[in-house]
Amino acid sequence: NAGVMQNPRHLVRRRGQEARLRCSPMKGHSHVYWYRQLPEEGLKFMVYLQKENIIDESGMPKERFSAEFPKEGPSILRIQQVVRGDSAAYFCASSQGGRGLTEAFFGQGTRLTVV
């Protein structure tokens, strides 16, 4: 049973391009959480999704950021028209139920660099 898989591990984008970050949860997990870790700062919650539903997006920036978790396939965090301030490590975690980090497993993260 593979763990939470994030890809790519490293992503470089020019300002104004789009970034797509993928998260494949552990087998049997239907809850996904995305977090962002800015350089020299702590982790921050972004969004919590179940299959085909956004449960809590209170941590998502109002513009340019979106997330989905379709019935089939990985969860996608999409950042449109990236700016230098989007450079960060983005982590996802997954759990079988909705008890958050109590039973969640993290991916290795995607490190986005905007040049």
Partner 1 sequence: KNEVEQSPQNLTAQEGEFITINCSYSVGISALHWLQQHPGGGIVSLFMLSSGKKKHGRLIATINIQEKHSSLHITASHPRDSAVYICAAVYGGSQGNLIFGKGTKLSVKP
Q: Which stretch binds partner 1 (CB under 8 A): 16-24, 60-68, 72-80, 104-112?
A: 104-112
Distances (CA, A) of 6 to 16, 58, 63: 23, 22, 23
3-class state of residue 3 by DSSP: coil
105 interacts with partner 1 by CB under 8 A: yes
Report how far Cα 108 is from the mean position of its chain's Cα atoms.
Answer: 11
Q: Which of 8, 12, 15, 43 contacts partner 1 by CB under 8 A?
A: 43
55 interacts with partner 1 by CB under 8 A: yes
Task: Write b or e for each residue in 10-20: b if 16 or more Cβ atoms lie within 10 A of its Cβ, otherwise e.
Answer: ebebeeeeebe
Q: Which stretch binds partner 1 (CB under 8 A): 13-21, 22-30, 79-87, 98-106?
A: 98-106
Residues that bind partner 1 (CB under 8 A): 31, 33, 41-45, 48, 55-56, 58-59, 89, 91, 93, 98-102, 104-106, 108-109, 111
